[in-house]
Amino acid sequence: MRRLTPLPPQRAADLVGRYAAERAVARRRMLASLAVLAVLLVLASYAAEVRPLVLAGNIGKFTAYLGQIMPVLRPDHLGTDLAEWYWGLPKWLSLLGETLLMAYLGTLLGAVGGFVLCFVAAGNLVKSPAIRFAAKRYLEICRTVPEIVFALIFVIAFGLGPMVGVLALAIHTTGALGKLFSEVVENIDMKPVEGLTGTGASWVEIVRFAVLPQVLSNFASYALLRFEINVRGAGVMGFVGAGGIGQELLVAIRNFYYSDVSAILLMIVLTVFAIDLGTEKLRHRLIDGEGER
């Protein structure tokens, strides 16, 4: 076996020196970013009125609160205790159904809006920069204003009720899905589009026969993902009077109906879990189905 020959001392010292210098630069950069972060942290804590003492003093309240909202469940009276905990089950279930329907309709209407606009906002299909710019800015405004702000305004214009929640979700979804859809469209294979253009097809025909077959499964997958998000969003629409289970939860929390809080929260969490699992399965099937073709 050959022995390793050590570097000449001159060269070794040189390399060690250079390594130390590199490390020092990295360390200085790290320290500088940490310092910036610390300054920002202090500024943010000042702006957000952080009171660590209040938190430390009241953290017991948080755990106590979690304890209070737990229902009383005794093993020998389990049936009656459960019935008492879920005393409002029929009403809550129908509200939960309403919430899911709101999320469904909001996603569907929003997806239709995003579907129509995404082709107009896609750079490879629309050559006029003015139309594209208008479509993109419209989608951006829809996306940046949170749905609950739309709901606040719509409640005044349309009156209270789940319809308002659906409209607010639909507008926000249009913005979010329109952007994702148009990115999908911008990444398609352009050869079918050129082929159809070559046979003299109209713009609508090109979209229908060259673009749509390439993007549909991706669109469906994004729409399902948005449905998941909208179920959560629909759950709090009731906070501003726009329908769904949120109103009941708000009343329960504000009025300290402790066991109701945990009952409704548990229902929401379980529903979100179920929807997440279901849509994940569906999305995998969509994407796999695409791969087989």
Where do contacts with other proteins occur on this chain (CB under 8 A)? 37, 40-41, 43-51, 54-55, 58-59, 61-62, 65, 98, 101-102, 104-105, 108, 141, 144-146, 148-149, 152-154, 156-159, 161-163, 166, 197-200, 232-233, 235-236, 239-240, 243, 249-250, 253-254, 265, 268-269, 272-273, 276
Asked if 223 and 107 count as a contact pair (C-beta separation under 8 A), the reply is: yes
Q: Which is nearer to other proteins, 58 or 187 (CB)?
A: 58
Two tokens at 250?
Answer: 């708000």
**What distance lies between CA 127 and its chain's CA centroid?**
31
Q: Which is nearer to other proteins, 183 or 276 (CB)?
A: 276
Minimum Å gap between C-beta 215 and other proteins is 16
Q: Rounded to a whole number, what is the largest CA-CA distance in the chain?
A: 88
Q: Which amino acid is at 37?
A: L
Q: Which is nearer to other proteins, 14 or 22 (CB)?
A: 22
- How many other CB atoms are there within 10 angstroms of residue 200's CB atom? 7
Minimum Å gap between C-beta 105 and other proteins is 5
CA angle 187-189-193, nearest 5°? 115
CA angle 108-110-116, nearest 5°? 105
Q: Which is nearer to other proteins, 97 or 123 (CB)?
A: 97
CB burial readout 143-176, b (16+ within 10 A) else e = beeebbebbbebbeeeeeebebbbbbbbbbbbbb
Minimum Å gap between C-beta 9 and other proteins is 25
Minimum Å gap between C-beta 83 and other proteins is 24
Q: Which is nearer to other proteins, 193 or 236 (CB)?
A: 236
Minimum Å gap between C-beta 272 and other proteins is 4
Minimum Å gap between C-beta 80 and other proteins is 27
Minimum Å gap between C-beta 1 and other proteins is 20
Asked if 101 and 242 count as a contact pair (C-beta separation under 8 A), the reply is: no
Q: Which is nearer to other proteins, 100 or 135 (CB)?
A: 100
Q: Which is nearer to other proteins, 178 or 235 (CB)?
A: 235
